[in-house]
Structure 1
Amino acid sequence: MERYLKQFATSKWFDLVGVILVVGIAISAGYLNSRLEKFVDWGPWTALVPFGVISVINVGISMLSTRFTGQLNKWGNYLGIVNTVLSGIIDFILGNKAAIITYPVTFIIYTFAIKKWKASHDGIPNTMSVSQKRLVGVCVTVLAFIFSIIANFIGFNGHINFLAILTTIVFALSLIANIFNALKLNTQWPFWMIYNIIQLIKALTQGNFANVGKYIFYILNAIGALLFWNDKKEEKPF
């Protein structure tokens, strides 16, 4: 089973399958033909902006970023920073007022990730001692949740409801995983698994069965990537 999961995470064919999957879901959700004027009134020029096409392209970039990162390919971070910019703009337009706070932080983390990965050995993750991982893990988790609570409190105008709580937890998990990715540590993958499991449960409760398939794909990818990274960290550079 481990062998198949690692093959799943590293297969170029499944890169293509993943992109087709998320782009297909975005198109089926009716995003493709929408224009910017549907969401904001910034003048007549908004009717010319293909907001739906940009959104669909962005989900494909997000999938490739995730896949490349799982394969220890530095291009995952470059695509990640493009995805962060586009996602931040899209979320803000769709009403996420916290986006103006959260996405710049994610952008900074990806900038750090690019520098950190560039300074490390290609194709090999970084390592830390168990005690170092625990210390970093506790610090990162606490700070991520504090920041997420503050950012989403602002974003939801102080209204505490189930969606606000769920969004806070999900963003904190993604923030933790992104920080561990910036450090090029395999510790990111369990957090991505939890993140995607929560998103899967959310999709099931909403009856959004298209997204069910997407998050099952992401969960399998996270498991396979963790196994692949565990193998690679045992390899010594020349």
Structure 2
Amino acid sequence: MQQYLKQFATSKWFDAIGVILVVSIAISAGYLNTRLEKYVDWGPWTSLVPFGIISVINVGISMLSTRFTGKLSNWGNYLGIINTILSGVIDFILGNKAAIITYPITFFIYTFAIKKWKDSHEGIPNTMTASQKYLIGTIITIVAFTISSVANYVGFNGHMTFLSTLTTIVFAFSLIANLFNALKLDTQWPFWMVYNIVQLLKAFTQGNFANVGKYIFYIINAIGALLFWKDKEQA
């Protein structure tokens, strides 16, 4: 089973399947023909902006970023920067007012990740002892939840509803995973699993069953990537 999961995480065929899956979901949700004017009125030019097409392309970039990272390729971080910029703009337009604070944080983490990965051995994750990982993990978790809480509190003007609270938790887990990724440590993958499980439950709760398949794919990918990174650590 472990061998199949590792093959899943590193296969080029599953790269294509993953992109097709998430793009198909986005299209089936009715995003493709959406124009920017549906969400904001910034002038007549908004009717010309293919917001749906941009969103669908961004979804594909997000999938490829995840897949390349799982294969220990720095391209995952480069694509992550593009995805962060597009996702931040899209989320802000869709009503996530904290996006103007949270996404720049993720952007800077990715720029740090690119440099850190360049300075490390290509195709091999960095290693730490269990006690070092525990210490750093504790610090990162405290910092991530603090930053996420403050950023979302400010972004939502102090109105902490169920949605803003959920956004705070989700961003905190993504922040933890991204910080571990910047350090090129395999510890990121369990946090990505938790993040995707939360997103999966959110999709069930919202009745957004189209996204269920996407997050199941991401969860399996995180498990396979963790096993692959573990192998590379021992090589």
Partner of 1:47: 47
Which residue is 2:114 aligned to?
A: 114
Give secondary structure in 1 for the equivalent of 2:234. Answer: coil
Structure 1 residues 14-23 or 131-140, which shifts more? 131-140
- How big is each residue's C-alpha offset from its partner over 1:177-232, in whole Å with a ceiling of 9 and x where there is no partner? 00000000000000000000111111112221111100000000000000000000
Amino acid at match of 2:180: F
Instruction: Work out whether 1:72 is the aligned partner of 2:77.
Output: no
Does residue 29 of the first structure (1) align with residue 29 of the second (2)? yes
Offset from partner CA, 1:47-86 (integer Å, 9 cap, x none): 1111110000000000000000001111000000000000
Q: How many residues end up aligned between the 2 structures?
A: 235
Instruction: Give the corresponding residue for 1:124.
Output: 124
Aligned to 1:17: 17
Equivalent residues of 2:177, 2:188 under 8 A apart: yes
Q: TM-score scaled by structure 1?
A: 0.97
The amino acid of 1:91's aligned partner reads D
- What residue number does 2:166 align with? 166
SS state at 1:233 partner: helix
- 15-24 vs 163-172, greater mean Cα deviation: 163-172
1:161: how far off?
A: 2.3
CA contact (8 A) 2:88 2:100 kept: yes
Distance 2:160 2:43 in 1: 34
Q: Give, in whole Å, the separation in 1 of the partners of 2:210 and 2:223.
A: 21
Letter in 1 for 2:160: I
- d(CA) in 2 for partners of 1:120, 1:146: 29
- Whole-angstrom CA distance in 2 between matches of 1:53 and 1:199: 23
1:130-150 deviation digits (Å, cap 9, x = unpaired): 221111101110010011111
Name the SS for the 1:95 alignment partner: coil
Deviation (angstroms), 1:155: 2.3
Detail structure 1 runs of 4+ shifted over 6 Å in the superposition.
none
Query: RMSD in angstroms over aligned alpha carbons?
Result: 0.8
Residue 88 in structure 1 maps to residue 96 in structure 2: no
Match of 2:7 in 1: 7
Partner of 1:30, secondary structure, is coil
* Structure 2: unaligned runs, 5 residues or longer: none
CA offsets 1:9-45 (integer angstroms, 9 cap, x no match): 0010000000001000100111110111111111111
Structure 1 match to 2:205: 205
CA displacement at 1:152 relative to structure 2: 1.1
Give the Å deviation of 1:156. Answer: 2.2
Query: Which has the higher mean CA deviation after the structures are superposed, 173-182 or 201-210?
Result: 201-210
| Residue 98 (structure 1) aligns with | 98
Residue aligning to 1:181: 181
What amino acid is the match of 2:73? Answer: N
Deviation at 1:122, TM superposition (A): 0.8
Task: Write the distance in 2 (CA, Å) between the matches of 1:190 and 1:198.
Answer: 12
Q: Give me the TM-score of the superposition, normalised by structure 2.
A: 0.98
Please tell me whether the aligned partners of residues 62 and 83 of structure 2 are also in contact (alpha carbons under 8 angstroms): yes
For 1:68-120, what per-residue CA distance to the aligned partner results, in whole angstroms no more than 9, with x for missing partners? 00011110000000000000111111111111110111000000000000111
Give 1:160 shift. 2.2
Q: Give the distance between the partners of 2:89 and 2:160, measured in 1 at CA.
A: 24
- Quote the residue 2:194 is aligned against: 194
Cα distance, 1:157 vs structure 2 = 2.2
Distance 1:95 1:163 in 2: 11
Q: Which SS does the other structure have where 2:9 is aligned?
A: helix
Q: Is the CA contact (8 Å cut-off) linking 2:62 and 2:79 kept in structure 1?
A: yes
Q: What are the ranges of 5 or more consecutive residues in structure 1 without an aligned counterpart?
A: none
Q: Distance in 1 between matches of 2:49 and 2:202?
A: 31
For residues 203 and 188 of structure 2, the distance between their equivalents in structure 1, rounded to whole angstroms, comes to 22
Given that residues 126 and 183 in structure 2 are in contact (C-alpha distance below 8 angstroms), is that contact kept between their aligned partners in structure 1? yes
